[in-house]
Chain A
Amino acid sequence: MSAVVDSHAHDHGHHGPAKGFTRWLYTTNHKDIGSMYLWFSFIMFLVGGSMALVIRAELFEPGMQIVDPNFFNQMTTMHGLIMVFGAVMPAFVGLANWLIPIMVGAPDMALPRMNNWSFWILPFAFGLLLSTLFMEGGAPNFGWTFYAPLSTTYAPPSVTFFILAVHMMGISSIMGAINVIATILNMRAPGMTLMKMPLFVWTWLITAFLLIAVMPVLAGAVTMMLMDIHFGTAFFDAAGGGDPVLFQHIFWFFGHPEVYIMILPAFGVASQIIPTFSRKPLFGYPSMVYATASIAILSFIVWAHHMFTVGLPLAAQLFFMYATMLIAVPTGVKVFNWVATMFRGSLTFETPMLFAIAFVILFTIGGFSGLMLSIAPVDFQYHDTYFVVAHFHYVLVPGAIFSIFAAAYYWLPKWTGYMYDELLGKAHFWLSFIGLNLTFFPMHFVGLAGMPRRIPDYALQFADFNQIASMGAFLFGTTQLLFLFIVIKCIRGGKKASAQVWEGADGLEWTLPSPAPYHTFSEPPTVK
């Protein structure tokens, strides 16, 4: 590998990227591809966020004001699909592309051409998905969980395009995951043993295995839907001897590992950032690795806690309740370790640290509501209410998305060579923090008071909290344009960043100059 790169270097002296659009179209460079993933996910974040604002605008007060119920359902469905598959997952793949090679001392990803392909599938997949909005009958309107038979027999015709789009996303994710595993297992610099890898690399290694395990299950589910819709099978059609509950088992066998796919890399990011700004090594590194692996393994045996109301037998109900409660143990270990890392450190609160601390606190609140949801008899009251909406937004927005912001601020100086504007970064943090809590905290209350999720109109007693949530959502949403401004400003210039960037930072990426050159670690570094 390094021999090839060397001969290039010989030809051109300093080898840089090609010029123009083809640089991005043909690129096999992990940094270019990482940047494309990150930009793509940010665009999808804004698209999915706009849909959320349509939802919140309609829910600002009781009665139907802005959209009709069918379009409202299209918005909830598309918002969920785009945020999960278009915003959060590609953002983490982008971070993996940028960071894994420079963290393990590799010159690039192991399979660079496949890397190009896994990215370039995505714009087409989401172009296809978004095009359904303009089709007769409208976009998918059956929720991001697309329960049959609402998503088969009773679906709009666009469901076929949705199925194809999901297949494309799945192919992209699987290839990305294979690439991550191949890179981490084969391309570490000499001396970089597994137990010396940065935690971000560890969490991504485990995430990649989860992806390979469950994306084919999702592909199976949508293929069975396709067969039911077009080829006369009856997997999920009770009239033909099938079972709608089978769909939910298959979906959640994918779906539960999927939610950890969206949070494990976030754990990794927090485990990089908190030690840096505490100026103290991560507490309990091995237990962090084992806890991550335990969470991943447990994620395969808890899927039916999403289905406590479908009428499972008592024994199954108990098994899934106990297994789900068990997840609190390794998750708790992680939170305790982060707190122990901060304890008796020497703390400073730059923007990445603010996002990381908020991540720990708010993710833990989402974890608490998750623990409450795991209690099956009580889940009969929580299930499919806004309490669930509050729960998963607490683990996804200040969980996954805050960790992505934290990562962006933390590594932006390494990527661009300039420091971002610290004052604006802090403003972005505080506005986001206030906005998201205004949006999602009241949802706990309306959920407990009995408001079901996925409704475009609601009874009068839920009005006040919904109004607050809608105002918070617009604050949170518009604040993200500030993030765009900060990133562009940072790319265009600013205070020069040093190689070390952060006083307490540790790891191979900080041995590289800022910005990181187009090709790095052509000669593997030696890790002591």
Chain B
Amino acid sequence: MLSRRHLMALALPCLTAPTSVLADWEVNMTPGVTDVSQAVFDLHMIIFWICVVIGVVVFGVMFYSIFAHRKSKGAVPAQFHESTTVEVIWTIIPFAILIGMAIPATGTLIKMYDTSDADIEILITGYQWKWKYEYLNEKVSFFSNMSTTQEQIYNFDEKGEHYLLEVDEPVVIPVGKKVKFLVTAADVIHSWWVPALAVKRDAIPGTVNESWTRVNEPGIYRGQCAELCGKDHAFMPVVVKAVSENEYQEWVLAKQELARQEFELNNKEWTMEELMARGEQVYQRACVACHQANGLGLPPAFPALKDSPVALGPMEGHIDMILNGVKGTSMQAFADQLSEVDIAAVTTYERNAWGNNVGDMATPKMVAERKGQ
């Protein structure tokens, strides 16, 4: 329950005295940056004020009784206890208010469900604990991991402005275009949520949910996973960057070029040092949440890699484990998540870090061969 690291964190007395500077006292929902989010915000405020008015009336009568009809003031109890007329009145009035509320709510809901005629389609897949974005027509695809460091989380470093709400690669969309989100999950249920867009859709394995947005203002909009998805549920933020149409097109081209370069890396001759350096980066991004920076894992759910039979055993078995994962556990199949060179690098790293001294190195070619098996 309490690891040494946590105890150390406790011993550092609130190194980052939280927030007094950065915190604000936000008390309400954001109106957001889309027409739908504005409509949602308006509905929220209408129903809120309806509740306030009802509350004032009902509690008003109650407080009047509490002050005026006290025994200590000599109040004599009336004996009335029945009135069908009154009962009918206070059944019908709330009913009428509800109908008045249901009409605009229905209109907004119908709008939210209209995913037709989208300009861009993005398939969003939730993984424990990161998001994958695939632009279906542009053939752009990448993972988005939280970029807040463990040192910040465990209070060794000062927390940044966007603590827990920052990622290595935001999802980029153009303003003014209808963007359709297709939301699913690879393992457990997640929920993709960006408050400023008023989009929240559960990411469910085996199901593809649909939603859409059309952002009016360029900017960076932050959200989080909203459905409990295991240990690091708090640590899989969503960052949407809305940019102009031109900027978006440039970004798509750059991403496509980058993908080509990445692919080229598979054919490069790698040295042990290069693979170890790259492997450490990959490990920090894809593996560290479960297997931990020191390779000791969090047994039994997340086994140690240091001195593990897989990492010290035959290379083929180790690569297969990373490619295919272990069904029924949190160990995902990384074949489609990491490039061949990344898998070669991280395999090499795991076999030669933390005192694991196998001494051999995997190559992208070996990974490609295992993939073909």
Q: A245-B204, A377-B105, A378-B44 are in contact. Are A336 and B51 (CB under 8 A)?
A: no
Task: Please pick, from A68, A368, A377, the residue contacting B3 in the complex, using a CB distance under 8 A.
Answer: A68
CB distance from A437 to the nearest CB of B (A): 15
Task: Please pick, from B19, B159, B298, the residue contacting A70 in the complex, using a CB distance under 8 A.
Answer: B298
A278 near B110 with CB under 8 A, answer no
A368 to B54, CA, bound (A): 9
A347 near B75 with CB under 8 A, answer yes
A154 near B188 with CB under 8 A, answer yes
A284 near B87 with CB under 8 A, answer yes
Task: Report B-chain residues with C-beta under 8 Å of the C-beta of A281.
Answer: 79, 81
Task: Please pick, from B27, B202, B229, the residue contacting A449 in the complex, using a CB distance under 8 A.
Answer: B27
CB distance from A348 to the nearest CB of B (A): 5
Task: Report A-chain residues with C-beta under 8 Å of the C-beta of B235.
Answer: 69, 457
B1-45 interface mask toward A, CB cutoff 8 Å, 1 = contact, 0 = none? 111001001100010101100111111111000000001100110
Task: Report B-chain residues with C-beta under 8 Å of the C-beta of A149.
Answer: 187-189, 205
Task: Report B-chain residues with C-beta under 8 Å of the C-beta of A328.
Answer: 94, 98
B90 near A345 with CB under 8 A, answer no
Q: How large is the interface on A (under 10, 10 to 19, 20 to 34, 35 or more residues)?
A: 35 or more
A65 near B155 with CB under 8 A, answer yes
Task: Report A-chain residues with C-beta under 8 Å of the C-beta of B300.
Answer: 136-137, 157
A339 near B65 with CB under 8 A, answer yes
Interface of chain B residues 113 through 163 with chain A (CB within 8 A): 113, 128, 152-155, 159, 161-163
A385 near B163 with CB under 8 A, answer no
A143 to B112, CA, bound (A): 29
B86 near A340 with CB under 8 A, answer yes
A284 near B153 with CB under 8 A, answer no
Most chain A CB atoms below 10 A, which of B14, B22, B90: B90
B228 near A348 with CB under 8 A, answer no
Is residue B58 within 8 Å, beta carbon to beta carbon, of the partner chain? yes
Q: A150-B230, A347-B71, A381-B195 are in contact. Are A321 and B223 (CB under 8 A)?
A: no
A384 to B318, CA, bound (A): 39
A149 to B189, CA, bound (A): 7
Is residue B271 within 8 Å, beta carbon to beta carbon, of the partner chain? no
Interface of chain A residues 322 through 353 with chain B (CB within 8 A): 322, 325-326, 328-329, 332-333, 335-336, 339-349
Interface of chain B residues 50 through 77 with chain A (CB within 8 A): 51, 54-55, 58-59, 61-62, 64-66, 69-72, 75-77
A375 to B101, CA, bound (A): 8
Is residue A463 within 8 Å, beta carbon to beta carbon, of the partner chain? yes
A349 to B73, CA, bound (A): 13
Interface of chain A residues 348 through 364 with chain B (CB within 8 A): 348-349, 357, 360-361, 364
Task: Please pick, from B80, B98, B110, B188, the residue contacting A326 in the complex, using a CB distance under 8 A.
Answer: B98
Q: A372-B44, A375-B47 are in contact. Are A150 and B207 (CB under 8 A)?
A: no
Task: Report B-chain residues with C-beta under 8 Å of the C-beta of A156.
Answer: 301
Is residue A28 within 8 Å, beta carbon to beta carbon, of the partner chain? no
Interface of chain A residues 56 through 74 with chain B (CB within 8 A): 61-71, 73
B65 near A311 with CB under 8 A, answer no
Is residue B341 within 8 Å, beta carbon to beta carbon, of the partner chain? no
B24 near A346 with CB under 8 A, answer no
B153 near A321 with CB under 8 A, answer no
The size of the chain B interface, using a CB distance under 8 A, is: 111
Is residue B82 within 8 Å, beta carbon to beta carbon, of the partner chain? yes
Task: Report A-chain residues with C-beta under 8 Å of the C-beta of B90.
Answer: 332-333, 336
CB distance from A309 to the nearest CB of B (A): 5
Task: Please pick, from A238, A245, A345, the residue contacting B65 in the complex, using a CB distance under 8 A.
Answer: A345
Task: Report B-chain residues with C-beta under 8 Å of the C-beta of A68.
Answer: 1-3, 6, 298
Task: Report B-chain residues with C-beta under 8 Å of the C-beta of A142.
Answer: 228, 230
Is residue A452 within 8 Å, beta carbon to beta carbon, of the partner chain? yes
A67 near B2 with CB under 8 A, answer yes
B193 near A452 with CB under 8 A, answer yes
Task: Report A-chain residues with C-beta under 8 Å of the C-beta of B230.
Answer: 73, 141-142, 150, 154
B74-110 interface mask toward A, CB cutoff 8 Å, 1 = contact, 0 = none? 0111111111001100110011001001100110111
A283 near B80 with CB under 8 A, answer yes
B87 near A311 with CB under 8 A, answer no
B interface, CB within 8 angstroms of A: 1-3, 6, 9-10, 14, 16, 18-19, 22-30, 39-40, 43-44, 47-48, 51, 54-55, 58-59, 61-62, 64-66, 69-72, 75-83, 86-87, 90-91, 94-95, 98, 101-102, 105-106, 108-110, 112-113, 128, 152-155, 159, 161-165, 187-189, 191, 193, 195, 198-202, 204-207, 209-210, 223-235, 298, 300-301, 328-330
List the 6 closest pairs (A to B, CB-CB), nearest first: A238-B206, A455-B234, A311-B209, A368-B51, A449-B26, A463-B19
A interface, CB within 8 angstroms of B: 61-71, 73, 136-137, 141-143, 147, 149-150, 153-154, 156-157, 238-239, 242-245, 278-287, 309-311, 314, 317-318, 321-322, 325-326, 328-329, 332-333, 335-336, 339-349, 357, 360-361, 364-365, 368, 371-372, 375-378, 380-381, 383-385, 444-445, 448-450, 452-465, 467
- In the assembled complex, 17 residue pairs joining A and B whose CB atoms fall closer than 8 Å, in A order, are A64-B9, A65-B9, A73-B233, A149-B188, A244-B205, A280-B81, A309-B201, A321-B106, A335-B58, A344-B69, A345-B77, A345-B78, A347-B75, A371-B47, A376-B105, A384-B227, A464-B23
